[in-house]
Homo-oligomer: A and B are copies of this chain.
Amino acid sequence: MSLIVQKYGGSSLADIAKIKRVARRVAKVREQGEQVVVVVSAMGKTTDHLIEMAHRVSDQPDARELDRLLSTGEAISSTLLAMSLKKLGCPAISLSGAQAGIHTDSSYSRARILNIETGRIFREMSKGKVVIVAGFQGITRDMNIATLGRGGSDTTAVALAIGLKADMCQIYTDVEGIYTADPRLVPEAVKMEKVDYDEMLELASSGAKVMHARAVELGGIYGMPILVASSFSDRAGTIICREASFMENINKVRGIAHDTNVAKITVVRVPDQPGVAAAIFVPLAEAGISVDTIVQNASIENCTDLTFTVTRDDLPRAIEVTEKVTQRIGAERCVSAVGLAKISVVGTGMQSTPGYAAKMFRSMKDAEINIQMITTSEIKITCIISEGRVEDAVRVLHKEFGLARGE
């Protein structure tokens, strides 16, 4: 008998009919003799609705209170799923993050799991029950509720799978797996059978919004196999596991990711001296603004231009912070631009093999797509381009790197 941790997202639990559907799926797995622990997100748009209520009370809702408020979303979905399973004759019990022994630090709204006391879950399992755990939340040392941030239920599921020494973690969502590119843009995009943790991490952080990056990272550290599949079909999904591509797809680009939620800020003629980067990025971090791509050009006349990207939502606040810094460090000015997109080519196979970047840039040039910024990691090459050309770019690169089926 194997032990599986299954996670169902908000779209899979959006209404009572969908909750009953998930209950039938879980009961079926159970009937096949598997032990199941289920992690749930809040139903549909519940979390958005709760955040909206909080913002009607206060423009800056207290972080501790907000986390306690948001945790009710998973309390509702988990209890309804437990009732639904019992109705089907399948013994079940729902547990809050605290009841499930999920201990976190006190960083409200972006807490980290410190450890999981698995005693209660194992006790309930030994009584033959399916255990349903409210995702996205845990309890601090001071007995306060803290949430893990958006997408945190993925992290709960992977962390629980590791803590319970499960055989697999299954993430059920509204897509059928990880594709070589967004299938809405590239009809010939192929669902991958397996993908490496690092590749998945780069795909996730580059705009493939299937799974929360922290969860993938955690899975990678402990080597927990993660299945990503649809809760609305029985088709095979994608398994994220160790060295998946090393064994199967050596020397190969694995996928094309893109993200259109991109704005850039350039600080012009920054004096080229130590501490300048810190002077810019520390205040941004303190303002809670996440900076993505950073590019600094080579120094000319002891001055350099420094460009970075942020999400569009963060742009107004990022400009405010950066303009103050610009004056203080004696840079010339700061300019911003929207209407941008990020496109990335990802694959561990690129790691030791030259020529991928060149191939990417050449095919962009042939398609007359202008590249505004470039960054590279060991397994990813990212270009910032005009938003209007992103669909073309995805299609061109998908073809160039031979990702369609049979190529």
**A residues contacting the other copy or chain, number (CB 8 A):** 35
| Docked CA distance A78–B143 (Å) | 16
Contact A83 B58 (CB under 8 A): yes
Question: Is A373 an interface residue when CB atoms closer than 8 A count as contact?
Answer: no
Q: Indicate with 1 or 0, residue by residue over A96-108, a CB within 8 angstroms of chain B CB atoms.
A: 1001000000000
Residue in contact with A62 in the complex, picked from B56, B57, B83, B99, CB distance below 8 Å? B83
Q: For A61, what are the chain B residues with a Cβ–Cβ distance below 8 Å? A: 83
| Docked CA distance A58–B19 (Å) | 12
Look across to chain B and name the residue whose beta carbon is closest to the beta carbon of A76. B72
Question: Is A84 an interface residue when CB atoms closer than 8 A count as contact?
Answer: yes
Known contacts A16-B53, A120-B143; is-contact A69 B58 (Cβ 8 Å): no
Question: Is A250 an interface residue when CB atoms closer than 8 A count as contact?
Answer: no
Interface centre among A61, A62, A93 (most CB of B within 10 A): A62
**A123-151: which have CB < 8 Å to B?**
143-144
Residue in contact with A83 in the complex, picked from B54, B71, B80, B120, CB distance below 8 Å? B54
Q: For A80, what are the chain B residues with a Cβ–Cβ distance below 8 Å? A: 53-54, 57, 65, 69
Q: Indicate with 1 or 0, residue by residue over A11-26, a CB within 8 angstroms of chain B CB atoms.
A: 0000010011000000
Q: Please classify the interface of chain A as helix (H, G, I), strand (E, B), loop, or mixed, using the class held by over half of its residues.
A: helix
Known contacts A19-B57, A53-B16, A143-B99; is-contact A83 B66 (Cβ 8 Å): yes
Q: For A50, what are the chain B residues with a Cβ–Cβ distance below 8 Å? A: 76
Question: Is A389 an interface residue when CB atoms closer than 8 A count as contact?
Answer: no
**Further contacts, 13 of them, CB under 8 A, given A53-B80, A57-B87, A65-B86:** A16-B53, A16-B56, A19-B57, A20-B57, A53-B76, A54-B80, A58-B86, A61-B83, A64-B93, A65-B83, A68-B79, A72-B76, A120-B143
- Contacts from A to B (Cβ < 8 Å): 16, 19-20, 50, 53-54, 56-58, 61-62, 64-66, 68-69, 71-72, 75-76, 78-80, 82-84, 86-87, 93-94, 96, 99, 120, 143-144
